[in-house]
Structure 1
């Protein structure tokens, strides 16, 4: 018997999943190292039972080591045959999952400046897994891959053409989440799947994606994971002139990077917290102003993607905020009645699967990035015999 392990190393947590390989991998356990920092916590859910323990100070390296040590009892002497990794950035050419090779890891390392909060941690997970499971097939599934194939107008900036050819373009992110949601729409709402759907992935990181027939045609995130929506600590859309001004005022590139990635967004606007739950519970004026800005930008991004699609047939909310923060959904949709969008207050308050009161369906759907990674691993195991080849046949989710 063998198992698939998935690793999803984010900016503040490391998620994992254990699956029995099959055409549709069967989940046996999942969990995460949460709140990396002085009071990290290991959470494991297996057999319907959740256990949690504080493991104390942990960064990504020590957190990964602790997680790998915890896998022993879960594996029950079974071999880890494949390890799947979420990798945020795959560059302009990678349009699907890949088996990792030393050359590919080096290529992905070079993309770290484009996703500094994530790529180094993703690759730290790769290296830890290579050391812990040297015989396993190592697979990367990319957040950017789902967005390859955008129309030129949704992929480019109005810079001299040579920059686009050199890779300065809009990549889009959160692709594993959008891939999963597209698959769920096809299975549960096939008519909507064929239409024009806007998906709002709202969590500590946040973006929106315009789908047409289940394919990404536009995204609010661009060259980096900074663009579009304000996030927990990331700025979102920003006039590039601000960066030029800050440089002129003597800030270094490193200081500006920290400002835009780690000190801005909900945390910077409120001065209270990056956590939407904390802000919604607060009576502080600064918390309300941060929520108001977030909701305003959300409405604006939905409107912009509706224009990119030429209309909207459904709106989907997913991610931690998207699935659980009814007030945010209601405040954003309140501005979008002209698109046929309206929220049913009672259904919205309990995070029901459908929350619309207008003609356009509004859905609340849980996402599952780990399952997309596990599926890529299962396909890689089926094609393991292709010596020297790291391309994985792609089948729709």
Structure 2
């Protein structure tokens, strides 16, 4: 037996999974190193037990070392034959899973300005994995790749054309999640899978995607992962004039503005209480209630825009932490959309049932699994080398 290993790197965490190597990878161990910094913690689910360990001071690179140290006994001497990495931004260069050679890593370094909250940390875990697993095939899977091939109106900004040619365009993100949802729709609901789908990936990071025949048509995120919907700490859609005002009138630096729009905005900025929807839903504070209302309004607005892009809608799919678990958000999004044919059964909604729609537009709640998509890419790549 041999294994595949996946790493899904965030700004303050590293999710990992170990799969038995076969055509459809079989999950064996999964976990996360969270709260990276001075009080990092490892959580790991194994076949026999759930493990929680305090790690002390750990960064992204040392997290990979810690993960392997805890995981190695379960390998029982069997090899890891392929490693897959989630990489947020592939730019104009990478549209499919790609072997992470030195040349590829150098190109990814040049894309750090496109995803400053994620790209540096992904590169840190890639380098660490190459040291821990020398000679093992390493594959990069790009969140932007699923959105490749958008038509020009869904790909461009109305600024001087040469910027578009230089790569300033609407890339879209959360592609691995959307890819997985599409694959699950084909498996579980083939009668609607190739129709006009609107998928809402609603987690701490949030975005939406219009899909037809399994292909991305439009995405709410664009040049960066900060555009589109309001998120946990990211502002979402913002008039560029606001940033000019902050620079010119408030004399804020680019670094200060970056901190505001990536780390101090969204639900946290509006509520002045928390970036966690669970906390806000239990809050009696006016600002927290307004933050939730704003969040849901922006999702409804995006559903309408994507229905227009698709010239109709056959299914709406909620996914990720908030999408899968917040009945309040789903209800607030769906109730005003009856004019589109979207209505829901509130009892099923409260129970987080897999399908909650009652109207002509089917409404689903579907867990996402980015790691499975990464593992499948590793399986395909290793098969080509054998």
TM-score category of the 2 structures, normalised to the smaller one: over 0.9
Q: What's 2:255 paired with? A: 254
- How far 1:281 moved relative to its partner? 1.3
1:353-364 equivalences in 2 (<5 Å): 353-364=354-365
* CA deviations over 1:97-150 (Å, ceiling 9, x no partner): 011111100001100111111111111110000000012100000000000011
- Counterpart in 2 of 1:186? 186
Match of 1:269 in 2: 270
Match of 2:65 in 1: 65
1:225 aligns with 2:258: no
SS, match of residue 201 in structure 2:
strand
Q: Secondary structure at the match of 2:211?
A: strand
Equivalent residue number for residue 200 of structure 1: 200
* Mean CA deviation greater in 34-43 or 307-316: 34-43
Residue number in structure 2 paired with 1:157: 157
State the 1:74 CA deviation: 2.3
Q: Work out the CA distance in 2 between the residues paired with 1:276 and 1:165.
A: 39
Q: Do the aligned partners of 1:81 and 1:135 also contact (CA within 8 Å) in 2? A: no
Q: Give CA deviations for 1:67-121 in whole Å, capped at 9, x if unaligned.
A: 2221212222111111100011011242210111111000011001111111111
Give the C-alpha shift of residue 58 in structure 1.
3.1
Change over 3 Å in CA distance of 1:97–1:45 after alignment to 2: same
2:32 aligned residue: 32
Q: Secondary structure at the match of 1:53?
A: strand
TM-score by length of 1: 0.95
How far is 1:39 from its partner? 3.4
Q: Is the 8 A contact 2:62 2:128 kept in 1?
A: no
How far apart are residue 38 of structure 1 and its match? 4.2
**Which has the higher mean CA deviation after the structures are superposed, 365-374 or 42-51?**
42-51
- Give 4+ residue runs of structure 1 displaced > 4 Å after superposition: none
Superposed CA RMSD: 1.2
> Does the 8 A contact of 2:198 with 2:313 survive in 1?
yes
Q: Partner of 1:169: helix, strand, or coil?
A: coil
* Number of the residue aligned with 1:77: 77
SS at match of 2:22: coil
8 Å Cα contact 1:3-1:20 kept in structure 2: yes
Cα shift at 1:12: 2.3
Shift of 1:2: 1.7
Write out aligned runs for 1:241-320 (5 A). 241-248=241-248, 249-320=250-321
Change (3 A) 1:129 1:328: same
Match of 1:131? 131
The corresponding residue for 2:44 is 44
Q: Give how far 1:376 is off.
A: 0.7
- 1:69 and 1:130 map into 2 onto residues whose CA distance is 15
1:158-196 per-residue CA deviation (whole Å, 9 max, x = no partner) reads 111111111000000000000000000111111211100
Distance 1:272 1:77 in 2: 48
Partner of 2:235: 235
What secondary structure sits across from 1:55 in the alignment?
strand
More moved, 47-56 vs 101-110: 47-56
Unaligned runs of 5+ in 2: none
**Cross-structure match for 2:88:** 88
SS at match of 1:221: coil
Q: 2:385 aligns to what SS in structure 1?
A: coil
Structure 1 unaligned regions, length at least 5: 386-397
Partner of 1:244, secondary structure, is helix
Please, what TM-score do these two structures have when normalized by structure 2?
Answer: 0.97
**1:41 shift after superposition:** 2.0
Per-residue deviation at 1:13? 1.5
**Preserved CA contact (<8 Å) 1:14 1:33:** yes
